[in-house]
């Protein structure tokens, strides 16, 4: 029971939404003009990419007359906050969003059309292709790449050495991944502290981020190009599910993999408890300094390589009154200066493919590898992505858990539920 | 013989005090004026939003842009939402279990600390203290305490030899439900105890003395004196408990996240999902209206049953 009625809270939100919404034209094209000076624009970002956003904003504020006021919102609450703010016409001037939610946001008219502004950028053809694709609707551009977060395999070289594996040789196929994880678990996991691998087994977003690259690496697809039909009940997806199902059944994964809802799924590897597992590339810079980590592209069951090109895109909100000042900031974030001196310097993946070989990234071959995957990886497109694949109550999580922990025979039925959700 | 009273001359002290304006003279007008501030607050914070939610439920309501009238689509599609239908069943099941357990535990605690004895103040405070913790914070606290990786409960149970391996507190539908019930009992039993304690202390001591002098034993006093006289207080507690349970959100949203496998999705979670994940504000408003109507009907029924059985 709850003394604070959620119904009243919802009614309050509804009030804001209704009181504030008036007839509006949504996102309209605005042509570029010289930015006003001395303006403070507001920006929202989610906690998952907080570090990168904070660095960019700090560098921009230091070198520009216009200022950006950044608000960081917990990742799990970000989408609801955007929805509530949009309903109340209280969106910030610019906001970043998980790139996979961008098609839904553009279809709702939340972003300003920036086609002409993007066309004027001299490096427009080098902007991360997956992010640009998802920010395009009916041939018009609405967003720029903001941060890139790729899924890759991390392996712990110390644990590999102790388990008798070659510490310099990571997995090149999903089957090798399973074999190496099993070896680590068998050799070092007897006291229950070290495990072969780990994954977020009760987290829809974790599954797509870590499992789907194996499907792409095997030459398969997870959806049709329109994002309205799911292919997750057939090979190679089912082959990938089987590998992880066997790993869980044999106890090679951490015991709580089945219950992991997402908030702590990346927390075990830095503790030195996991042999090899899929991880977000953005965590490489925050790993313990004395930890020897190898990085490999995610492979399919028999080879190939791919990655989920995740991260955030950023756009000007359709309700912003400072579109020119907002664009000045956005254009700066993808400039040579910001990309090299802010992003590359901190081992982040670049939003531009033409700067992959910069002076900072070339110091660490792992960063070079990650940057090279931007062009090989994919970002799945579906207008109904969030509610289908990320939402804990969405149909994808049920399918994935059925495939890994439950009755794999139910996959066609669960896949039909995904189709229904994608087509709503 | 007749007595005549002279009218006071104009401009005397009697007339110097201004008489109230004509609209203020009636008791009715004064009543309206006194009620106005409360009426204003209720109107702005409850009636207007309620009307707006009903209005919203009759439209396709995008995040930005004009709404379009689509009644009754938002209502008819509720029946096609399997998540909502499952949530109705689950929420009713949760409401029954939590109401029975909460009432029993709260009554037990209230009876324990009813009489003034040394140390009873400490226990009253201890039982009520969880009620001072915010509900969202309490849900997070349980999430941390029962977490298999970093929570302290599992290592404690294992060191005491009670369990051999970590208990999956939210790993199965039943475990998730009963872990949540434990959270709610911990958080609200003290508050409900307080409500019952006020009822218990309102029962005159003379009634108990009379019963004892008539030879009634403890059980007879409990069933024939305490419970009947406590009925209005129990009614209040039941209404609060049933209403709060049907509107359950925080505990499931934060603690179980509706899982595992959508087994702990409450009705308000479905409203939240429709509004903020699916951006279907009209659909969410329609479910809210249905929920409100059901809740009002249930409360009316509850009040009638409890009044009739007095």
B63 and A11: CB-CB below 8 Å? no
Chain B's closest residue to A264, CA to CA, is B149
- Quick one: pLDDT at residue A395? 94
Using the predicted structure, report yes or no on whether residue B47 has a pLDDT greater than 90.
Answer: yes
Q: Does B176 touch chain A (CB under 8 A)?
A: no
> What count of residues does chain A have?
424
Report pLDDT digits (tens) over A304-316.
999 999 999 999 9
Report pLDDT digits (tens) over A216-259.
999 999 999 999 999 999 999 999 999 999 999 999 998 789 98
Give which of A278, A308, A21 is closest to A154, Cα–Cα. Answer: A278
B277 and A79: CB-CB below 8 Å? yes
Enumerate residues 262 to 281 of chain B having a beta carbon within 8 A of any beta carbon in chain A.
262, 265, 268-273, 275-279, 281
In this structure, what are the phi and psi dihedrals at residue B183, rounded to the nearest 5 degrees? -60, -50
Please give the average per-residue pLDDT across B177-194, as a whole number. Answer: 96
Stated pTM of the model: 0.81
* C-alpha to C-alpha distance for A369 and A363, rounded to whole angstroms: 11
Using the predicted structure, report yes or no on whether residue A27 has a pLDDT greater than 70.
Answer: no
- Quick one: pLDDT at residue B2? 42
- Quick one: pLDDT at residue B30? 84
> Looking at the DSSP assignment, which residues form a beta bridge with residue A298?
A306
Q: Cα–Cα distances in Å, from A118 out to A37, A82, B55?
A: 21, 24, 40
Using the predicted structure, report yes or no on whether residue A29 has a pLDDT greater than 60.
Answer: no
A109 and B291: CB-CB below 8 Å? no
For residue A356, the SS3 value is coil
Using the predicted structure, report yes or no on whether residue A12 has a pLDDT greater than 50.
Answer: no
B171 and A258: CB-CB below 8 Å? yes
A79 and B276: CB-CB below 8 Å? yes
Contacts of residue A80 in chain B, CB cutoff 8 Å?
272, 275-277
Say which residues have a Cβ less than 8 Å from residue A90's Cβ, sequence separation at least 6.
Answer: A16, A20, A319
Please give the average per-residue pLDDT across B28-45, as a whole number. Answer: 91
Using the predicted structure, report yes or no on whether residue A387 has a pLDDT greater than 50.
Answer: yes
Contacts of residue A15 in chain B, CB cutoff 8 Å?
48-49, 52
- Quick one: pLDDT at residue B71? 87
- Quick one: pLDDT at residue A7? 39
Say which residues have a Cβ less than 8 Å from residue A402's Cβ, sequence separation at least 6.
Answer: A408, A410, A411, A414
Using the predicted structure, report yes or no on whether residue B147 has a pLDDT greater than 90.
Answer: no
Contacts of residue B49 in chain A, CB cutoff 8 Å?
11-12, 14-15
Using the predicted structure, report yes or no on whether residue B12 has a pLDDT greater than 60.
Answer: no
Helix then strand then coil, % of chain A, to nearest 5:
45, 15, 35
Please give the average per-residue pLDDT across B233-240, as a whole number. Answer: 91
Chain B's closest residue to A406, CA to CA, is B261
Report pLDDT digits (tens) over B256-277.
989 898 999 999 999 999 998 8
Enumerate residues 279 to 308 of chain B having a beta carbon within 8 A of any beta carbon in chain A.
279, 281, 284-285, 288, 291-292
- Quick one: pLDDT at residue A195? 95
- Quick one: pLDDT at residue A62? 95
Please give the average per-residue pLDDT across A265-276, as a whole number. Answer: 93
Using the predicted structure, report yes or no on whether residue B76 has a pLDDT greater than 60.
Answer: yes
Q: Cβ distance A298 to A210 under 8 Å?
A: yes
For an interface test with B, give the residue of A5, A8, A10, A265 to mutate (most B CBs within 10 A).
A10
Strands A40-46 and A94-98, sheet pairing? parallel
Q: In whole numbers, what is the pLDDT of chain B averaged over residues?
A: 89
- Quick one: pLDDT at residue A33? 58
- Quick one: pLDDT at residue A23? 31
Strands A67-73 and A140-141, sheet pairing? unpaired
Please give the average per-residue pLDDT across B81-99, as a whole number. Answer: 94
Report pLDDT digits (tens) over A73-102.
988 789 889 988 998 889 999 999 999 999
Q: Does B63 touch chain A (CB under 8 A)?
A: yes
Alpha helices by DSSP H, listed for chain B, are 13-16, 22-25, 27-42, 48-57, 73-76, 82-112, 120-128, 135-145, 153-159, 173-201, 205-213, 218-221, 227-246, 250, 267-276, 281-308
Chain A's closest residue to B86, CA to CA, is A393
A10 and B275: CB-CB below 8 Å? yes
Calculate the CA A224 to chain-centre distance: 20
Radius of gyration of chain A measured on its C-alpha atoms: 22
For residue A13, the SS3 value is helix
B245 and A23: CB-CB below 8 Å? no
Using the predicted structure, report yes or no on whether residue B3 has a pLDDT greater than 60.
Answer: no
Q: Does B58 touch chain A (CB under 8 A)?
A: no
Using the predicted structure, report yes or no on whether residue A142 has a pLDDT greater than 90.
Answer: yes
Report pLDDT digits (tens) over A337-361.
999 999 998 888 899 988 887 888 8
> Looking at the DSSP assignment, which residues form a beta bridge with residue A73?
A46
Contacts of residue A267 in chain B, CB cutoff 8 Å?
149
Lowest average pLDDT, out of A252-266, A274-288, A312-326, B169-183, goes to A252-266
Contacts of residue A110 in chain B, CB cutoff 8 Å?
63-64
- Quick one: pLDDT at residue A259? 86
Please give the average per-residue pLDDT across B45-52, as a whole number. Answer: 94
DSSP string, A81-138: HHHHHHHTT---SEEEEEGGGHHHHHHTT-B---HHHHHT-TTGGGB-HHHHHHTEET
% pLDDT > 90, chain A = 71
In this structure, what are the phi and psi dihedrals at residue B253, rounded to the nearest 5 degrees? -65, -40
A1 and B184: CB-CB below 8 Å? yes
% pLDDT > 70, chain A = 92
* C-alpha to C-alpha distance for A168 and A160, rounded to whole angstroms: 9
Q: Cβ distance A119 to A140 under 8 Å?
A: no
* C-alpha to C-alpha distance for A220 and A121, rounded to whole angstroms: 34
* C-alpha to C-alpha distance for A405 and A244, rounded to whole angstroms: 9
């Amino acid at each position: 029971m709850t003394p604070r009625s959620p119904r009243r809270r919802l009614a309050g939100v509804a009030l804001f939404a209704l009181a504030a919404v008036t007839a509006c034209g949504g996102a309209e094209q605005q042509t570029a003009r010289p930015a006003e000076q001395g303006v403070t624009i507001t920006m929202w970002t989610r906690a998952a990419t907080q570090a990168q956003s904070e660095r960019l904003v700090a560098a921009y504020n230091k070198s520009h007359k216009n200022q950006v006021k950044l608000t960081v919102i917990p990742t799990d609450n970000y989408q609801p906050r955007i929805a509530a703010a949009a309903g109340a016409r209280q969106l910030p001037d610019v906001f970043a969003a998980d790139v996979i939610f961008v098609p839904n946001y553009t279809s709702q008219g939340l972003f300003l059309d920036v086609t002409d502004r993007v066309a004027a950028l001299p490096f427009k053809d080098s902007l991360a292709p997956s992010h640009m694709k998802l920010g395009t609707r009916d041939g018009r551009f609405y967003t720029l790449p903001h941060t890139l977060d790729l899924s890759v395999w991390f392996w712990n070289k110390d644990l590999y050495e102790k388990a008798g594996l070659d510490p310099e040789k990571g997995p090149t196929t999903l089957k090798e991944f399973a074999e190496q994880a099993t070896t680590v678990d068998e050799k070092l996991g007897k006291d229950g502290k070290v495990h072969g691998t780990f994954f977020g087994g009760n987290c829809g977003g974790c599954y797509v981020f870590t499992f789907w690259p194996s499907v792409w690496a095997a030459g398969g697809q997870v959806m049709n190009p329109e994002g309205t039909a799911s292919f997750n009940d057939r090979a190679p997806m089912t082959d990938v599910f089987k590998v992880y199902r066997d790993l869980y059944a044999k106890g090679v994964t951490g015991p709580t993999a089945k219950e992991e809802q997402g908030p702590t799924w990346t927390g075990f590897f830095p503790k030195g408890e996991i042999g090899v597992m899929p991880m977000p590339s953005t965590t490489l810079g925050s790993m313990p300094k004395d930890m020897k980590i190898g990085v490999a592209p995610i492979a399919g069951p028999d080879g190939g390589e791919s990655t989920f090109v995740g991260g955030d895109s950023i756009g000007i909100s359709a309700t912003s009154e400072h579109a020119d000042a907002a664009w000045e900031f956005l254009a700066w974030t993808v400039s040579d200066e910001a990309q090299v001196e802010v992003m590359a310097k901190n081992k982040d993946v670049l939003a531009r493919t033409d700067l992959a070989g910069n002076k900072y990234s070339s110091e660490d071959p792992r960063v070079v590898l990650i940057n090279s995957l931007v062009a090989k990886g994919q970002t799945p497109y579906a207008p109904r992505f969030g509610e289908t694949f990320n939402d804990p109550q969405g149909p994808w999580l049920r399918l994935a858990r059925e495939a890994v922990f439950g009755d794999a025979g139910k996959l066609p039925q669960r896949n039909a539920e995904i189709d229904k959700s994608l087509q709503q | 013989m007749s007595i005549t009273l002279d009218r006071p001359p104009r401009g005397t002290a009697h007339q110097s005090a201004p008489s109230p304006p004509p609209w203020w003279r009636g008791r009715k007008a004064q009543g309206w004026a006194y009620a106005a501030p409360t009426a204003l607050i209720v109107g702005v914070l409850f009636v207007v939003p309620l009307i707006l939610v009903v209005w919203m439920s009759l439209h396709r309501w995008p995040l930005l842009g004009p709404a379009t009238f689509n009644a009754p689509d938002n209502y008819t599609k509720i029946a096609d939402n399997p998540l909502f239908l499952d949530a109705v069943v689950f929420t009713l099941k949760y409401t029954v279990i939590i109401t029975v357990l909460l009432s029993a535990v709260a009554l037990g605690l209230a009876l324990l600390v009813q009489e003034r004895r040394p140390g009873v103040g400490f226990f009253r405070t201890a039982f009520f203290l969880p009620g001072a913790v915010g509900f969202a914070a309490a849900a997070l606290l349980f999430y941390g305490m029962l977490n298999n990786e970093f929570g302290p409960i599992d290592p404690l149970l294992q060191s005491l030899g009670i369990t051999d391996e970590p208990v999956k507190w939210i790993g199965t539908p039943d475990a998730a439900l009963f872990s949540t019930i434990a959270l709610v009992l911990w958080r609200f039993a003290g508050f409900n105890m307080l409500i019952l304690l006020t009822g218990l202390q309102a029962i005159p001591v003379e009634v108990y003395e009379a019963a004892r002098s008539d030879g009634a034993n403890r059980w007879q006093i409990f069933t024939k004196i305490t419970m009947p006289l406590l009925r209005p207080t129990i009614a209040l507690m039941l209404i609060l408990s049933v209403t709060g349970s049907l509107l359950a959100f925080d505990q499931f949203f934060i603690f179980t996240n509706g899982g595992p496998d959508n087994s702990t999705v409450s009705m308000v979670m479905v409203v939240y999902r429709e509004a903020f994940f699916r951006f279907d504000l009209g659909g969410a408003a329609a479910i809210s209206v249905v929920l409100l109507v059901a809740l009002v009907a249930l409360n009316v029924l509850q009040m009638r049953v409890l009044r009739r059985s007095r």
